A and B are shown apart, each in its own frame.
Chain A
């Protein structure tokens, strides 16, 4: 046939209009261009101007159109009419729904505000929801950090005033070696991929330390398939080798860390292990110039890392000498840790050598003059181009806090934090633990709580305990069981409320947290607790209110549903007061705004909270005469002032030209929309590194309203508040731990990082580590309702390493019974070679309950899909001491998801049809069945 080339229109119109807002397909918060046709969402792409994603967008972000139109969207407020868990509801009006909620909440506020437990899951408005809870007066508020990565965040803040992800990032432009520890594929979605692309383009070596070689670890130049839970030991072995070889940055340590600070060594003193301080409380060092004591921040001081001081009977030595004592010990030698970590000793040395080579032989200087907090001016900024990043993989163990501390200490010893080529903070970080408030828990009926719920304890005096020593909070955060639980313990709320321990609550109010499914340990047990009744036939947890946009598993277990909007139908602010989107070179915040109006009877949850607050005349929300300050969340975002001149959004304040500080600007949201949905203010060049000690940065931060005064500080290699808890456990002070917790506190709260074994003891039947991670193309449980994304990850096999496949006689497609001390599941398996040889894993939250998410009951998510959660209990198996110990980090209370160990055996395949076990009964769907055939085209 003769070649005939048709005419193609290569310049068709793209869309009628682009509306720029912020993605919410995960917690990454990228900027998106929403292309509109005929008033409908037609196509979503990344916003090139946005500081987070600079135009790129992940699979989830591009699939937002299917999330926005998902058939699982709730349509109207729901009132439960069947038993809890059945999914039987009737749709009611908002007026009725708000009457019911008010009718439950207002009497609680009057008499027992703490009987409301308000926990907000994957909330991106925590500064607002906590403000609401504080004004309601309950002490029982937190978001999901306790079961996510509180270890990472808290260890970072106590150690160096910030951690990874939202707190900081590698210096992608200058780094020459990048180490990635325990990062699941979904964190921190686009910025990590962009950074990896940037450094790999110039051939920078990437080392991935992770039991599983997928995603980022698949492109790592070197993969270290470490045994789960031993990262801390591996890191401290690197510390040992590097210290022993003198490959540490002594100048940096003496100037910017508490390594030279003197520590009391008198074992009989109530100050044993505490810092020597002057009358103003400033820690003291030996000045190497004079050999005499000096405050750490004195002009001209040269703090001596090797300092010692005898004052009468009492000897003081520097933190650095304590570190030398501890880490030069041969117990940390590569040969001593190799077997436990599953990494040959020569390989540990090779990695240490590469770190040393790059940090010291490839050091460089940027020609930027800067002045430090002591007043000394430096002509250049020295770079140490080794950077690191870590996330939940190292964090979600019962030794996660100390492991994260160890990682930060490693970076600090190398002098790579806040220097060119290393790790950089993002505003409002750096911000030390001492600049955060302590937790508050004093409840007064009818009044607001005495301060913010969550914070950073500095010692036993800040624990959230009642006068009788019992826990003030339902989740037992900030108690002797887990003193530094800065994010609360959402995962313990339901089991504690069910047990009435420490007390009974009346109403459980949850937002965006799928606690009846993938967000809980012991999923089946949690369902039973939510449906359990007392002798009168009343539910043990009397009332449950839940807000979600979608028909998640949790919906079926609530009494009242307040349906939320999709992310394209709502106002939000991604605030500097909260979890901002800043970059190392600038402060940034952003908004969401309704690019389309809801076509259902749903409302943005935050606006519903404003309305409830107004109905109850909560103090922070209403004027003295009871009239409301704000009509809805958008009104709050613009007009709320946390302090005079400082509000949820930093940009376009006052007349529109003010940044950070300024009067509320009624046109602020319009200005954000004109600017692409975000605001960005760059950090001056002389303030770009050495931020905790850099006067120019500190002054810039004060100008912007991040601080009221400059807050320079030292990195805390030695965390003194931890030592204060140990002192209490040793018998010092008024506030004393219960006897059964003394040893745990002494052992675990060591002020220098330590490693300890967390794998369950005593039962040698469970020897295989079992992990989960989320894929890059899914976020928590949301992806299953997305017609495009579920074609990528519609079910989740258990990935089993080659050696275990052989040992257990398994082949691809076989079914295995997986047991833990807590339970058993039956699941399909698939062999994987690029995996630690004693670890199995699966994708988290792909498995679904039949009847949820508007999926057909025979959807693969509900048949072959499964959760590992059934194998994990919130308590450890009994140890025979008559006590039940939490399956969590004894310092922060972080849920120890990844301490799970299992046994795996081949089993016969399910009869009739593929079905994993447990197979829970189908719930009635609160939304109608969807149309199954999609040929999606908006406009003509």
Chain B
């Protein structure tokens, strides 16, 4: 089995804002495009135009309905990819050393030339974040775009994962979660960023920002009507009174007196 490094110099990862993710799948397809063309084997598709199209993706967006105790049901969009765990079971389970966690940035990678496609790592990952590519017979997973984030052939501003660069609503953030002064650590602190399934003990590096409370206006409208009353108190009780108010209000406008 494969050892994890005792410590990594940085903990590079993603912070995903579930309050802002509209579920558009832009990250899913941008990832598919970049990683088909770059690191390792292409992400293949089987039965691409047929009855049961199925391909390899390193990132998928799921949608869940949530019924709170009060108020209407909600729909949460939940993007999911490898969380680059500190205690990554997919690494320690690997029989060939193909799965490993990098010392310099904590990225979990698969060295495809050593991967025998046994699938143990996918089985051990509690998040279902790995997919075996059926054409290449090797395990594929999020690389955090290791071939982008240091790539000197890209402009500096583009040295971020493809999913982060493309996200239209700005719901995906990239940075060093091991550095408490980083922007991503700040977001996690401010917005109550959470681990996914912390009980699994994997210590994921990626964090999720929870949705903000919703449907507050409904509660106001039902419970606390008096609070709003001053904003909407009628200026008059009838049409004549309204036109009287109008005259007085017009007089008060700049240049309104006559």
Contacts and interface: CB of A to CB of B under 8 A. Distances in A.
B217 A354 contact: yes
A513 B57 CA distance: 32
Given A11-B153, A194-B169, A351-B217, A789 B29 contact: yes
A197 B20 contact: yes
Interface stretch (B35-43, B178-186, B199-207): B35-43
B135 A932 contact: no
B46 interface: yes
B228 A937 contact: no
Q: Which of B28, B38, B48, B73 has the most CB of A within 10 A?
A: B48
A320 B250 CA distance: 13
A59 interface: yes
B21 interface: yes
B228 A62 contact: no
A205 B213 CA distance: 11
B42 A935 contact: yes
Contacts of A53: 168
Interface residues of A, number: 123
A43 to B, nearest CB: 5
A306 interface: yes
A832 B168 contact: no
B170 A197 contact: yes
Nearest to A70: B49
B218 A854 contact: no
Nearest to A13: B153
A930 B256 contact: no
A306 B41 CA distance: 74
Given A1-B2, A250-B249, A250-B250, A328 B242 contact: yes
A244 B235 contact: yes
B235 A197 contact: no
B54 interface: yes
A193 B37 contact: no
B212 A834 contact: no
B128 interface: no
Given A222-B216, A305-B250, A860 B51 contact: yes
A193 B75 CA distance: 17
A362 B26 CA distance: 35
Interface stretch (A287-295, A395-403, A406-414, A721-729): A287-295
B53 A790 contact: yes
Most central of A71, A222, A792 by chain B CB within 10 Å: A222
A46 interface: yes
Interface string B38-69: 11011011111111111101000001010100
Interface stretch (A207-215, A275-283, A562-570): A207-215
Nearest to B219: A350
Interface centre among B4, B218, B255 (most CB of A within 10 A): B218
A855 B211 CA distance: 39
A344 B222 contact: yes
A63 interface: yes
Contacts of A9: 147
Interface in B162-218: 162, 165-171, 211-212, 214-218
Contacts of B233: 245
A65 B42 CA distance: 14
- The CB with the most chain A CB atoms within 10 A, among B50, B167, B256, is that of B50
A48 B158 CA distance: 10
Contact of B100 (A6, A200, A304): A6
A254 interface: yes
Contacts of A205: 217
Given A349-B232, A790-B53, A63 B22 contact: no
A866 to B, nearest CB: 16
Interface string A852-877: 00111011100100000000000000
B252 to A, nearest CB: 9
A196 interface: yes
Nearest to B52: A860
A247 B232 contact: yes
Nearest to B18: A219
A56 B72 contact: no
B212 to A, nearest CB: 7
Given A42-B37, A214-B75, A930-B48, A14 B154 contact: yes
A935 B41 contact: yes
A305 B36 CA distance: 64
A221 interface: yes
Contacts of A608: none
Given A250-B250, A344-B222, A215 B23 contact: yes
A306 B74 contact: no
A186 to B, nearest CB: 10
A346 B221 contact: yes
A458 B160 CA distance: 54
B111 interface: yes
A219 B19 contact: yes
A223 interface: yes
Nearest to B220: A350
Contact of A834 (B34, B41, B65): B65
Interface string A902-913: 000000000000
B243 interface: yes
A306 B243 contact: yes
A776 interface: yes
A304 B153 CA distance: 65
B146 interface: yes
A37 B166 CA distance: 21
Given A197-B170, A785-B49, A306 B247 contact: yes
A200 B239 CA distance: 40
Interface string A768-792: 0000000011000000010111111
A288 B256 contact: yes
B127 interface: no
A177 to B, nearest CB: 10
B103 A5 contact: yes
Contact of B30 (A45, A71, A254, A860): A45
A44 B50 CA distance: 25
Nearest to A929: B49
B232 A859 contact: no
A833 interface: yes
Contact of B75 (A213, A222, A250): A213
A869 B217 CA distance: 36
B97 A1 contact: yes
B243 A324 contact: yes
Contact of B46 (A225, A351, A932): A932
B9 interface: no
Interface string A343-373: 0101111111110110000000000000000
Contact of B253 (A218, A242, A251, A833): A251
Interface string A170-212: 0000000000000001000110011011101101010100000
Contacts of B97: 1, 3-4
Interface in A1-34: 1-6, 8-14
Nearest to B211: A219
9 contacts: A3-B97, A56-B167, A59-B24, A59-B28, A245-B232, A290-B258, A347-B221, A792-B25, A932-B48
Interface of B: 1-5, 19-26, 28-30, 32-34, 36-39, 41-42, 44-55, 57, 63, 65, 67, 72-77, 97, 100, 102-103, 109, 111, 114, 135-136, 146-147, 149-154, 157, 162, 165-171, 211-212, 214-218, 220-222, 225, 228, 231-235, 239, 242-243, 245-247, 249-250, 253-256, 258
Interface of A: 1-6, 8-14, 35, 37, 42-46, 48, 53, 55-63, 65, 71, 185, 189-190, 193-194, 196-198, 200-201, 203, 205, 207, 213-216, 218-223, 225, 241-247, 250-251, 254, 288-291, 302, 304-306, 320-321, 324-325, 328, 344, 346-354, 356-357, 776-777, 785, 787-792, 794, 832-835, 854-856, 858-860, 863, 930-939
Given A11-B150, A57-B26, A218-B22, 15 more contacts: A1-B2, A1-B3, A189-B168, A194-B170, A246-B245, A288-B256, A290-B258, A347-B218, A349-B225, A788-B29, A834-B65, A860-B51, A932-B50, A937-B37, A938-B37
